[in-house]
Structure 1
Amino acid sequence: MNESNVMKSEINRRRTFAIISHPDAGKTTLTEKLLLYGGALDLAGSVTAKKKQRETSSDWMELEKKRGISVSSTVLQFEYNGYRFNLLDTPGHKDFSEDTYRVLMAVDAVVMVIDAGKGIESQTLKLFEVCRQRGVPIFTFMNKMDRPAKSPLELIDQLESVLNIHAYPINWPLESGPFFKGVYDRLRSEVHLFEKTPGGAYRAPVSVRDLTDKQVKDVISDDAYTEILEELEMLDIAHEKFDLEAVHEGQMTPVFFGSATNNFGIELLLERFLEFSQPPAPRKAGGETVPLEGPFFSGFVFKIQTNMNPKHRDRMVFIRVCSGKFERDMMVTNSRTGRNVRLSNTHNLFGQQRETLDEAYAGDVISCITNADLRIGDTLSTKKGLAFNEIPRFAPECFAYLVNHSPSAQKAFRKGLDHLLAEDIVQSFWPAQEQSPIPLLGAVGTLQFDVLQYRMKNEYGVDTTLDVKPWTALRWVDPSVSEETVKKVISYDSAYGEDDCGRMVILFRNNWSLQYFSEKNKEITLHSSPAALPE
């Protein structure tokens, strides 16, 4: 097989996807069970594990283990049935929606986990909207069917009415809660019966044609059997036929039912994901569509993580490969700075574990240890002048200065702050009216500040406090507007300054003052993201 065919084959077997959900819907548990099927784990971890149980591979940060939530995006790579998976586990908490957004820019599909007992929740809706904006294919997993759950028809109706997407149930639950018996596969006419055992096994699928009414009723009550038949008939009449093209366009979501904790329905989801998902698609850089096969290498930085190995104070940069073949020690150009960067210390990641990576193809995620001047959104390529479209930032809603009260820890404080700001855990700004030696920090939610303070203490040995400021809204000023124009109209409930890239911003005390300012100063155009600024 020649080099061109090898590259095409390697690209076609890549599947890069993220798992999104509302907190506590079971996202991290599902991640662990997918890794179990991929042979990457011998024993799946539990988010609420007892001391002697295995900790989850995706939640590697000590704070995550203590709180039982994901607060950082993790890359997990494994092989399954001849395919290479790049699985990105995202933060579930709404305060980290910006980190999740960046991850969604780096994937080709999404698995959306919904707690069947709660249905659509606020964070699910926000993350779903991001997926819809990008047209990312969405696969839905209704989790916790072995617990008290909403009716499956109600869950499907919520998907369609709240998220405004066509939902096609691939399988259908046979009861729920303590009476959960399994699922019926609508496309293959197969019944998969659930048997709760240690390790979460289930019986082999049985063709519905070989399953007599008596055999079904030995498992399911008469009333439930009648109700399920009526529901299936209703689905066949009322719902559209399965449309794979609509799935690829993000207009239809295949829906699966199961229980991640008890390992039921996970293999069914994984097999159908492989059947319905697509390999990586070409990306756009400005007006140019970049071909997957190259002939040049290109990728973009979507995450930076410091101190994954605290003993070495390393700085890990995560790069989504968009075209060509990557080879270790490759020299690339950073389009933002114009400088050359050697990608030598590259790895495959599995949570906190790592192995040397020698080559990668479009669709893969590279992790590279480097001290080079790289920022989130930077394009790296062997073709000079190539720049992928900017990753948007969210406008912060919480603002504070981080205060160090120990003069002897000042060096560690500045070092820690510089490192953590490079990760974009929080954003940094420089208000013109305040002569502070450290930047004003902006966050989407207060938990981001909690993580920042925790990591300053845990990784750099510095205790800090927050000097919270009254601002609750921020907008970027159109570059056509001069600083003098802005300075003239700033009042007591607003302030202006710059972000870390020197772009002018205005801070407001509340949304009312933002709206009032916009109405009174129509000559000043404001933007909710720097990505919307004209070049």
Structure 2
Amino acid sequence: MKFDGEINKRRTFAIISHPDAGKTTLTEKFLLFGGAIQTAGAVKSNKIRKHATSDFMEIERQRGISVATSVMSFEYRGVLINLLDTPGHKDFAEDTYRTLTAVDSVVLVVDSVKGVEEQTRKLMEVCRMRDTPVIVFINKLDRDGKQPFDLLDEIEKELKIHLHPLSWPINMGKDFKGVYNLYEKSLLLFNPNQKATEDDIVPIKDLNDPILPKLVEEKNANQLKEDVELIEGVYGEFHSEPYLAGKTAPVFFGSAINNFGVKELLDTFIQIAPVPRSRETSARVVDVHEDKFSGFVFKIHANLDPRHRDRIAFLRVCSGRFERNKFYTHVRLEKDVRFSNPYSFLAREKDVIQEAFPGDVVGLFDTGNFKIGDTLTEGEKFYFTGIPTFSPEIFREVINKDPMKTKQLEKGLLQLTDEGVAQLFTQHFGNRKIIGCVGDLQFEVIQYRLLQEYGASVQFNSLPFYKACWITSDNKAKMDEFTRFKTANVVMDKDGHLVYLAQSEWFLNTEISNNPEITFHFSSEIHK
């Protein structure tokens, strides 16, 4: 209870979307409002070499996409905001899914031109599984897109969530005039030649105010009145309880690239978004107000600073106070650890902190002790649950193109696969290395980073496997026999656990029915 003041002033959320919906641009605008950065990176332009603040890996700058979750902390109007910008590309969905376990709410960005896309649906399913509160930001209103009411219908139908508009656009595309804030009863006027400022906001007590037609033309004023009347009739008054329960999503309209409608979203967010919440563990529910510290690792990133070959574990604080230089119990390893330089982040910039509270994300310098899902406590033994792992679907053999760099390759493979976006397997008899991923683009990133960060040059050869299954058995003789007969298909993961690589669903089902004494698991979680 003694940390309630700190807990109540924190908001921890992720921004999620399909690629190219404007997620990273929106992140930057938030940081601008929070004073965390002074100038926005030109995300779309290759000519301008100021890149998005949150895209810190070289390959992200070259491809113009985010491939790793970035963590940024900033203050806005007395509220400490921990913002996690996630990859939108489906090949990196695993990183995004795990990040969603570390946040209390989500801002979902939808492109007004394209509407709901495939990745948006998948991300929303993860949010619904946990009843995560969601705010929808409909972006790119300065382009000709789908009509607002059509967009709301599409989002409700496709994402299976009730919506409640808290702002409403006046036209779109070249006729875009501005956004009316239903929550604050004010009008934000759009000027395509300049960024939105405080001066563009006009308080309007009543839509019958004679100033409205002068500002947006009479036909637009009449259309706005009709729309708002319809919205109020259909949606009624906004209440925060259904939003906090994950049943209703407030909706804002705007144009992130023009800094338009972003402030309204941020101002409302800090008023209605949830403070850090209590969390489930393998033993009990950990109350966010408990005095004793606990937290879990949801992400690991090697070589955040290429000059120092560092490896950072990202820890979400769930209860109590995390303190620098204090000993904590690493539950899986059953040993005490302490951290002399814990960090808070602004993308790549790091600041050493003395303490952190529930909701905060702390970067811990890691020498190889951490795996994703690891829990730190003040002595109690439990794991935070619900951190997903995925069975790989694409498998490729690693071919070392430079035998002089074998050691660097081994180190690079171990460190990069520790980050959780790929899994490393070794042939049970022999030293053949196999990487399993859920998306093709991950191989490109791994190949690039092995060369740039470790000096190891590799090529990947495709392998005809369909799924990885972890295998366990109480009958050692039966297990030995199975691994002896299935040499080509049995590998070890990097923790020494046996894994069966099935060529097809038929092969997998055949082996399961032929070997009743062996259990086939689709996740490595069983070994925790």
| TM-score, with length taken from structure 2 | 0.92
SS of residue paired to 1:261: helix
Q: Does the C-alpha gap of structure 1 residues 510 and 173 become closer, same or farther in structure 2, counting only changes over 3 Å?
A: farther
- Matching residue's letter, 1:394: F
Aligned to 1:23: 19
Map 1:439-518 onto structure 2 (within 5 A). Answer: 439-477=433-471, 484=478, 495-511=489-505, 513-514=507-508
The partner residue of 1:125 within 121, 125, 134 is 121
SS of residue paired to 1:205: strand
- Inter-partner Cα distance in structure 2 for 1:95 and 1:443: 8
- Matching residue's letter, 2:280: K
Matched, 1:219 2:213: no
- Inter-partner Cα distance in structure 2 for 1:400 and 1:118: 34
Q: Does the C-alpha gap of structure 1 residues 526 and 390 become closer, same or farther in structure 2, counting only changes over 3 Å?
A: same
Map 1:88-167 onto structure 2 (within 5 A). Answer: 88-167=84-163
Q: Which runs of 5+ in 2 are unaligned?
A: none
Instruction: Name the stretch that deviates more: 436-445 or 513-522.
Output: 513-522
**Contact persistence 2:473–2:517 (CA under 8 A):** no
Instruction: Name the stretch that deviates more: 101-110 or 506-515.
Output: 506-515
Instruction: Name the stretch that deviates more: 504-513 or 128-137.
Output: 504-513
Residue 527 of structure 1, CA deviation? 4.3
How many corresponding residue pairs?
527
**Contact persistence 2:473–2:479 (CA under 8 A):** no
- Inter-partner Cα distance in structure 2 for 1:464 and 1:422: 18
Aligned to 2:36: 40
SS of residue paired to 1:409: helix
**Contact persistence 1:341–1:372 (CA under 8 A):** no
The partner residue of 1:205 within 177, 202, 207 is 202
Q: Does the C-alpha gap of structure 1 residues 247 and 522 become closer, same or farther in structure 2, counting only changes over 3 Å?
A: farther
Aligned to 1:351: 347
- Inter-partner Cα distance in structure 1 for 2:27 and 2:154: 24
Instruction: Name the stretch that deviates more: 236-245 or 111-120.
Output: 236-245
- Inter-partner Cα distance in structure 2 for 1:407 and 1:267: 55
- Inter-partner Cα distance in structure 2 for 1:45 and 1:282: 36
Q: Does the C-alpha gap of structure 1 residues 176 and 210 become closer, same or farther in structure 2, counting only changes over 3 Å?
A: closer
- Inter-partner Cα distance in structure 2 for 1:56 and 1:228: 35
The partner residue of 1:186 within 157, 175, 182 is 182
Map 1:244-259 onto structure 2 (within 5 A). Answer: 244-259=240-255
Instruction: Name the stretch that deviates more: 55-64 or 212-221.
Output: 212-221
- Matching residue's letter, 2:204: S
- Inter-partner Cα distance in structure 2 for 1:508 and 1:200: 56
Note the alpha carbon deviations across 1:16-54, whole angstroms, 9 max, x for none: 111000000000000000000001011111212344452
- Matching residue's letter, 1:441: I
The partner residue of 1:383 within 374, 379, 385 is 379
Residue 104 of structure 1, CA deviation? 0.7
SS of residue paired to 2:327: strand
**Contact persistence 1:425–1:452 (CA under 8 A):** no
Aligned to 2:258: 262
SS of residue paired to 1:58: coil
The partner residue of 1:321 within 292, 317, 320 is 317
- Inter-partner Cα distance in structure 2 for 1:483 and 1:20: 48
Instruction: Name the stretch that deviates more: 16-25 or 464-473.
Output: 464-473
Q: Which runs of 5+ in 1 are unaligned?
A: none
Instruction: Name the stretch that deviates more: 288-297 or 68-77.
Output: 288-297
Note the alpha carbon deviations across 1:296-354, whole angstroms, 9 max, x for none: 21111111111111111111111101111111111111111101111112111111111
SS of residue paired to 1:199: coil
Note the alpha carbon deviations across 1:42-74, whole angstroms, 9 max, x for none: 111121234445221100111000000000111
Map 1:2-17 onto structure 2 (within 5 A). Answer: 5=2, 7-17=3-13
- Inter-partner Cα distance in structure 2 for 1:484 and 1:191: 73
Matched, 1:360 2:356: yes
Q: Does the C-alpha gap of structure 1 residues 494 and 128 become closer, same or farther in structure 2, counting only changes over 3 Å?
A: farther
**Contact persistence 1:145–1:257 (CA under 8 A):** yes
Q: Does the C-alpha gap of structure 1 residues 250 and 503 become closer, same or farther in structure 2, counting only changes over 3 Å?
A: farther
Note the alpha carbon deviations across 1:349-401, whole angstroms, 9 max, x for none: 11111111111111101012131511111001112313222622012111012
Residue 515 of structure 1, CA deviation? 5.9
Q: Does the C-alpha gap of structure 1 residues 214 and 518 become closer, same or farther in structure 2, counting only changes over 3 Å?
A: farther
**Contact persistence 1:296–1:383 (CA under 8 A):** no
**Sequence identity percentage:** 41
- Inter-partner Cα distance in structure 2 for 1:242 and 1:199: 29
**Contact persistence 1:495–1:507 (CA under 8 A):** yes
RMSD: 2.7
| TM-score, with length taken from structure 1 | 0.91
Matched, 1:237 2:233: yes
